[in-house]
Structure 1
Amino acid sequence: MKTRIIYGPILSRRLGRSLGIDVIKNSETKKNCNFDCVYCQLGHVDYKIADPKDVKGAVSAKEVIEGIRSYHRNIDDLDYITFSGTCEPTLNSDLGKMIKGVKDVSKHPVCVITNSSLVDKEDVRTNIAGADMVVATLVSGYEETFKAINRPAEGIELENIITGLQAIMNMEKRPKLGIEVMLVDSTIDFPINCTDKEIGRLIEVLMEINPDEIEILTVSRPPAENYIISVSEKRLKEIASRFDEVFGKERVKLVLKGLKRKRSRMKHENTEEEVYDLILRRPCTFKQISASLGIDEQTLKPIIDKLISAKSIIESEDANDKYYKAS
């Protein structure tokens, strides 16, 4: 099925109603990234892109601007336009031009969601400088834990990531920086990052970075590895309390599962494509798809059935919900 680089909107636990932009469209792989995180909702991939020069199917700034110019006008209640999707957006060297172009044609704030892998590079920091917000991932202050959870491409080191995040905060013109702390637990002997030792080291590193905002969350969709499980809500609240004591409650956001929002007010062009484009980038429950795209359940059910019959999507279950994801 044909996919578009603009997708959603997605009901984000962090950003509200967010319209997504995917800046790499390589059909040979389901995600285009230099990490292979154990918790990734898009699953495991063998090939990790080591360098922006190795990217296949890089989207142009012109494609993004033209897509946003027409698509975002169909949505009445948008909160953010977000660079994310099936790829690490900073791997596209035209990201800075894209951000500027989007802001030229839309009044909505722009966010870049990044795994932080390339923020030590000056050209990458220059590219993201025009965004309103950057949400950057940091899972540990220890190299061993970082590599176990994020499984980065060769040459990516935690020390460089930390230095790069500090450099963002020191830029003369910079976006608001939020650090996403994705916490995981495990059913096997695995270097999880929700222990007291790990949290203590994360706090030390975050004090060095001094971000505008810290987001604490855990796995909410079926992860790439079945031994990875979510951290309990009780433990998340204990960890958030420790962060509150150091950074203040106004800077710490505890992001819990179960966001409730009204259905989107959206004018549809091709409903089946819109449903598939959303599921391709983010596994969703039936109700999440309905609310995100503003499609009533009676209309949505035959679309889901058709996509399953065509083997474009599959069903996946965790302990609590049934999710649909791209096959």
Structure 2
Amino acid sequence: MKSRIVYGPILSRRLGRSLGVDVIKNTGSKKNCNYDCIYCQLGHVESKLGSPEDVKEPVTSKEVSQSFRNFHKDIEGLDYVTFSGTCEPSLNLSLGEMIRAVREIGGIPVCVITNSSLVGREDVRKNLAQADLIVATLVSGNENTWRKIHRPASGIALQEIIEGLRELAKGGAGKKLALEVMFLESEAGKPLNSTDEEVESLIATIRYICPDEIEILTVSRPPAEKWVRPVSEERLREIAKRFVSEFGEEKVRLVLKGKNKRSRVLHRELDEEVYALLLRRPCTFEQIWQGLNMDPKSLRSVLKKLLGESKIEKIDSETGEYYRTK
């Protein structure tokens, strides 16, 4: 089935109604990344990419512009255009040019969700700095914990990431850096990065970086490793309270699972739209019909067809029944 560059909209816990842009073509793998995170909703990376120079078929700026121009006008009430999807967007070195083109066409704020792996590179920071909002991952201030959670490609070092994030935080001129801190536990209830010691280490590291915002959350979709578990809401609130005492309420955001309002979407090819969404983001039935604003009866028919064609599968998790691509 055709893999769209632009997909959605997605109802995001953080960004409201967001239209996604995926900037690496899916050739032979449904996930392109230089991390193999234990909590990733897209599963394992078959072959980790070491650097942008290893990308064989990056999407071009022209392709993004054409795809976005044809798609965004069918949707009303968008809050963001978000560069994310099946890849780490900073692996595409045309990202800055793409961001400028999308903003010029749609006049909608642009967000990039990045795993932070390449922010030590000046060319990558310049690309990211074109966005209105950068949501950058930081799960630990300790090298061993960071490696255990992300399982990065060789050559990536936590200290380089920390220094790169500090440089990004100096962006100014209306740009905003938010650090996303994903807290996790194991199947046995053992904290991975949510102990008091880990929290204090993160606070010290984030104090050094000086971001505009800190987002505290836990896994909500089926993770790559079945033994990964979400941190309880009670513990998340305790951690958020500690962060607030350090950085103030205006900087700390506790992201909990919730619902968002729907946007109006003009549908053209329902099968492709549903598949494109699930390729980047496993969803429950409710999340699909709310995000794409579909008639539930029509969605059931599409899901039945895609299941019958073995293009998607249904899985159960602690947080609900999800659909995802095979």
TM-score (norm 1): 0.97
Q: Is the 8 A contact 2:29 2:46 kept in 1?
A: no
Match of 1:326 in 2: 325
SS in 2 for 1:314: strand
CA distance in 2, matches of 1:79, 1:249: 23
Indicate the percent of aligned positions where both proteins have the same amino acid.
56
Match of 2:287 in 1: 288
Counterpart residue type for residue 125 of structure 2: R
Q: Which structure 2 residues correspond to residues 155-174 of structure 1 after superposition, within 5 A?
A: 155-171=155-171
SS in 2 for 1:20: strand
Aligned pair count? 326
Counterpart residue type for residue 11 of structure 2: L
Question: How far 1:2 sits from its partner (Å)?
Answer: 0.8
CA distance in 2, matches of 1:316, 1:216: 26
Question: How far 1:57 sits from its partner (Å)?
Answer: 1.9
Q: Does 1:237 find its partner at 2:231?
A: no
Counterpart residue type for residue 307 of structure 2: I
Q: Is the 8 A contact 1:263 1:290 kept in 2?
A: no
CA distance in 1, matches of 2:79, 2:214: 20
Question: How far 1:84 sits from its partner (Å)?
Answer: 0.1
CA distance in 2, matches of 1:299, 1:264: 17
Match of 2:64 in 1: 64
Question: How far 1:191 sits from its partner (Å)?
Answer: 6.8
CA distance in 2, matches of 1:278, 1:16: 16
Match of 2:313 in 1: 314
Q: Which structure 2 residues correspond to residues 6-155 of structure 1 after superposition, within 5 A?
A: 6-155=6-155
Q: Is the 8 A contact 1:128 1:175 kept in 2?
A: no
Gaps of 5+ in 2: none
SS in 2 for 1:180: strand
CA distance in 2, matches of 1:176, 1:10: 21
CA distance in 2, matches of 1:194, 1:301: 39
SS in 2 for 1:184: strand
CA distance in 1, matches of 2:65, 2:21: 10
Q: Is the 8 A contact 2:10 2:291 kept in 1?
A: yes
The farther-off stretch of 145-154 and 183-192 is 183-192
CA distance in 2, matches of 1:162, 1:143: 11
Match of 1:193 in 2: 193
Question: How far 1:67 sits from its partner (Å)?
Answer: 1.0
Counterpart residue type for residue 304 of structure 1: L
CA distance in 2, matches of 1:136, 1:86: 16
The farther-off stretch of 191-200 and 229-238 is 191-200
The farther-off stretch of 85-94 and 262-271 is 262-271
Q: Does the C-alpha gap of structure 1 residues 300 and 189 become closer, same or farther in structure 2, counting only changes over 3 Å?
A: closer
Q: Which structure 2 residues correspond to residues 171-250 of structure 1 after superposition, within 5 A?
A: 171=171, 175-188=175-188, 192-250=192-250
SS in 2 for 1:275: helix
CA distance in 2, matches of 1:306, 1:21: 25
Match of 2:270 in 1: 271
Q: Is the 8 A contact 2:32 2:88 kept in 1?
A: yes
The RMSD of aligned alpha carbons is 1.2
Q: Is the 8 A contact 1:89 1:112 kept in 2?
A: yes
Spell out, residue by residue over 1:179-198, the C-alpha distance to the aligned partner (whole angstroms, 9 max, x if none): 00011100259770000000
Counterpart residue type for residue 80 of structure 2: Y
Match of 1:260 in 2: 259
Q: Is the 8 A contact 1:145 1:191 kept in 2?
A: no
Question: How far 1:151 sits from its partner (Å)?
Answer: 0.6
Spell out, residue by residue over 1:129-169, the C-alpha distance to the aligned partner (whole angstroms, 9 max, x if none): 21100000000000000000011100100000000000112
Spell out, residue by residue over 1:244-299, the C-alpha distance to the aligned partner (whole angstroms, 9 max, x if none): 00001111000001x22233210011111000000000000000000000001111
TM-score (norm 2): 0.98
Counterpart residue type for residue 107 of structure 2: K
Q: Is the 8 A contact 1:183 1:216 kept in 2?
A: yes
Gaps of 5+ in 1: none
